[in-house]
Structure 1
Amino acid sequence: MAGRIADGASRPQGRLGRLLRRRPSGIRVRLTLLAVLMVGAGLVLVSVVVLALVRNDLTGNARSAATERAQDAVSQLTSGVLPVLSSANEDRPVLQIVDQHGTVLAASPELLGRGPLLPQRPQDHAVGSRLHRLPIGDGAPYWAVGLPAYLADRPVAVYAAASLEPVGEGVDATLSALLVASPVILSVAGGTAWLLVGRALRPVEAMRRQVAEITSSELDLRVPEPPGTDEIGRLARTMNAMLERLQQAGERQRRFVSDASHELRSPLAAMRTRTEVGLAHPAVTDWPVMARDVHREVGRLDQLVEELLVLSRVGAGNGSAPASSVDLDELLLTEVAAIRARGRVDVDLSELSPVRVQGHPQQLRAMVRNLLDNAERHARTRIAVRLFPFGEENRCGYWNAGGVEVGPVAELVVADDGPGVVPAHREQVFDRFFRVQSARDRNSGGVGLGLAIVRDVVTTHGGRVWIADSPNGAEFHVRLPMIRPRPSP
């Protein structure tokens, strides 16, 4: 039996707990409920304050009425004659005059046959107390006041008592008015909050509908921007900026896929054509020459795929390998040794300083290799490589593309004595699959991705790359944030 009672008692509590834990859905509903709760809490606080003020005010009126009635009686006793006391009413308190021995000399008709109202006798100052048991009216409490006085040079006490029934009636009336007005105020507050929140969230709903209509093929659409500089307006502008970046990234991706497909199709088509011709005429085909041509196309295809993988890794972020301290001068020496081994051009390393940067070794190696390969491909007889700390002497700062000061930087300069790059093409050469008209020959060895890799790696590491003016050939400059050397002890 006890188990069933306990189970029945816990079941409603479980339902109540689930209802309390269940959160209403929708920001509009939650904000409206929050507004109603805040207004309700304010109403409770205001009601308590108002009821306290009403009670204190009406109690003060009763005290004042009793004190004034007693003072009038004291004034009448100065003539040496007892005043005639009439019955009390709502505005006139009851009165009682008592001598020093506790004998009631005069009293209102309601107090006939009753002893002194207050046990304490006023001496030099007035006394007052709340009385709960007076056989007057319906038994409502009274506030009694006692004042000292003299009757024919005899000390007497004058007691006056005013009913506190108006205090209870006034508090009850005020409480009833508050109970009637509070639901109306809460309803008005809830309705106002509902309308205001709905109006404030209307632009958000419009943005949501617009974003729901945006697909990968419709990235040119934008969300409506409400006027003003409030949070919703800033949100709309931020979303439009994000959509602009997504559209640009999508366009770059489509161009990249299109260019990559074109570049991959060319060597595959060449190999297929030559093998089909050889198979169709095996007797007249020079198979060693065809094998050499196919091998060259396979090498070109392998280089293209490798550089596409490098670009994808750089574009996807830093990858799984963490950044570390990299000696950029050692990377340069390693790659320059490979160029010198080929013996096609001379490499000048007379201005090479030890420089250490923070980055990813594989990406920085790809950047250095592509810069040197580009210079070797276009140089006539000579390449000059310089590496030095920039901004270390005068302690000047350097700001990367994000506007963050990164301190001194390492500057790498790779110059060749080739035909150079005209100013109109100095930005385009860093685009993917871009070739100037004089280098459109595929047999020159380039696939149009080397300088794009250089720019992406440098940008990822917080630096910048550009082509400077040079009297002979092309001069590439790269600046990367440098690690400050530790001071020697």
Structure 2
Amino acid sequence: MTRRLRVRTLRTRVSLLALAVITAWLLILATGLSLVLVSRLNQQVNDGLRVRAQAASATVVVRAGQPVGVGESATDSELDSSIWVYRGGTAIARPPVAAALQRVADALAGTPAHFADRHGRRFYVLPLLTHGRQVGSIVAAADLDPYERTRDTALIGVGIVAVLMLAGAYPVLRFATGRALRPVGEMTRQAAEWGVVAPDERFGGDQRYVELASLAKSLDGLLGRLAAVLRHERHASAELSHELRTPLSRVAAQVELLMDNASAAQRQELQEIRTNCAAMDGIIDTLLAAARTELTGVVGRASVDAVLRSFAAPTGRPRTVVESEPLLVEVDDDLVVRMLAPVVENARRYAARTITMTARRRGTVVEIDVANDGPRLPHDLAERVFEPGFSARDGGHDGVGLGLALARRLARSADGDLVVDESSEHTVFRLTLPAG
């Protein structure tokens, strides 16, 4: 199956379209020039043959109404080179030529005036008339080879000129198209920049080119809607943070007061409540961070080695070992920490002795693996552990079941992903992020 050529840039497409139009016009001009040239050469050959035949007819000696010979003249050498004089069908003067040409001339003798091409020659028949009656013929011949060489040379020259013009036109067309599209590229760059850092900026209607006014109007409308969304997101985030954190703070404060006079058993329960409040507060921070990342698209940068070493615990059980080279990712370091925290916490629940954290670069991404030497995660749970609310009661880990789900959402909002590496013999969570 033939695959169509894919043109990926508007600059190339416009340049090729303009080049195709120029090529079509050059073909039309070359064809017209060829037709005119061939017509002029044919006319030149015909005129030359007529002149020579008429000059030869002036030297023919006619007696008693019949041509009997050719008189002497200063141009006899020219006339004899390719001129035949016939009385009826009998040649009374003929040049020394090949037998094939002689046969052609004999066949043309006595016919009305006309042209005929034979054996690379053009023949012209001029009747000799006496009192309105044809008594003989003049047959003149011309070699067509010089004219054909002239025609071929001219056509080759036209072809070379056309190819040179097209070869020189394409770079000029690309340059001109690039210059013409430069304002569009600049507006695109500004729109992308303003959409992140200055959504209140506008292009306005006073564009240098009329054709860009409509584009500027559309981009201004888009920036306006984006600014409204960002304002709403900031307002909603602030309200959400206040509305959720206020009751959590009250619960935490009441727990602190109750713990002073509580029994040992009650203290344990209250401590669990306080821990859950802290976890809920962290979940709120993670949700707000994910929302800001998805809406604003602000790109940060983090050192993977530094983030991983913040989780390192070379002593204790389980111990955490970091194996990483200096790498950067295009994500804020606090977001990377929030992505890894639930993964590391999950590994600590199930590791027997060691948690190993490794990082490596694969093309345009950085892969961060968190492995533990505990029981291997069953294949049927490799995706379920990322479902919100999945917990130990469903065969998963202890907890409320939001940590891994939020970690994956954060990773995907940063153009990455969080998955379980099912090809490993241990439980390995793999976080993929764009390399910086």
The TM-score bracket by the shorter chain reads 0.3 to 0.5
TM-score of the superposition, structure 2-length normalised? 0.47
